[in-house]
Chains A and B, each alone.
Chain A
Amino acid sequence: EAGVVQSPRYKIIEKKQPVAFWCNPISGHNTLYWYLQNLGQGPELLIRYENEEAVDDSQLPKDRFSAERLKGVDSTLKIQPAELGDSAVYLCASSLGVASQETQYFGPGTRLLVL
């Protein structure tokens, strides 16, 4: 069974440029998560989708970050414009349901460096 797929794996951009990350969850997983992981820290939730609906997006900086999951399958996270402080790893995860004991399956992440 294929795991969570993310691309690109690495991205280097200059500040003020836009950037987009793509995630394809495990087939059949209705819930999709985007996390931010800073160096030496644990993942912090940015946004959670239940099918096409975005829920739990209180930590998403909406002035520059946006996300979509149009058909309830794959998802895109965008930053425009990027700032130096956005340099981090962006993790995507998926799970079958939304219950608090559900196992989340993580992708390998996209490592972003903003110069």
Chain B
Amino acid sequence: AQSVTQLGSHVSVSEGALVLLRCNYSSSVPPYLFWYVQYPNQGLQLLLKYTSAATLVKGINGFEAEFKKSETSFHLTKPSAHMSDAAEYFCAVSRPGGSYIPTFGRGTSLIVHP
């Protein structure tokens, strides 16, 4: 079975500051990893995904994440936060082969202060 742990239910940053949202995974096999964003009253939207190619993955809206096997981590970063980045962010894990549905973390709410 696979699972993800998102450290911190809320992260608060100032506009222009670095954004770091943490995700650690547990998987018995090399995983596929995803970050999704959910804006208020909307569905989830894929930011980026890791599927065993390059370990540094670039996504939309200036976000990127690095797969670190030794740390079992897939943290999401953005160099400079914008007010529009305020949303809920979900990390998810699945496994290669077959039709394994991703398992989602509990989410981290990003708050951006002016």
Give the A-binding residues of B (Cβ under 8 A).
9, 32, 36, 41-46, 49, 51, 90, 92, 94-102, 104-107
What per-residue 1/0 map shows which CB atoms of A17-58 lie under 8 Å from chain B?
000000000000000010000001111110010100001100
Surface stretch bound by B, among A66-74, A77-85, A91-99? A91-99
Does A103 contact B95, Cβ atoms closer than 8 Å? no
Q: Which one of A3, A33, A41, A108 lies within 8 Å of B101 (CB-CB)?
A: A33
Please list the residues of chain A having a beta carbon within 8 angstroms of any beta carbon in chain B: 3-4, 9, 33, 40-45, 48, 50, 55-56, 91, 93, 98-101, 103-109
Name the distance in Å between A44's Cβ and chain B's nearest Cβ: 8
Task: Say yes or no: B9 contacts A40, CB within 8 Å.
Answer: yes
Instruction: List 8 extra interface pairs beyond A43-B44, A100-B98, CB under 8 A.
Output: A40-B9, A42-B92, A43-B104, A50-B99, A98-B99, A100-B32, A101-B32, A109-B42
Jot down 20 A-B pairs with beta carbons below 8 A, ordered by A: A4-B43, A9-B41, A33-B101, A40-B9, A40-B106, A40-B107, A42-B90, A42-B92, A44-B104, A56-B99, A93-B43, A93-B44, A100-B95, A100-B96, A100-B100, A104-B44, A104-B46, A106-B44, A107-B43, A109-B42
Q: CA–CA, A50 to B101, complex, Å?
A: 13
Q: How far is the CB of B62 from chain A (nearest CB, A)?
A: 19
Q: Are A100 and B102 neighbours in the complex by a CB distance under 8 Å? A: yes
User: Which of B9, B43, B94 is the one whose CB lies under 8 Å from A101?
Assistant: B94
Specify which chain B residues have a CB less than 8 angstroms from the CB of A9 in the assembled complex: 41
A98 partner residues in chain B, CB cutoff 8 A:
99
A48–B100 alpha-carbon span in the complex (Å)? 11
B31 (CB) vs chain A CBs: closest residue:
A100
B46 near A42 with CB under 8 A, answer no
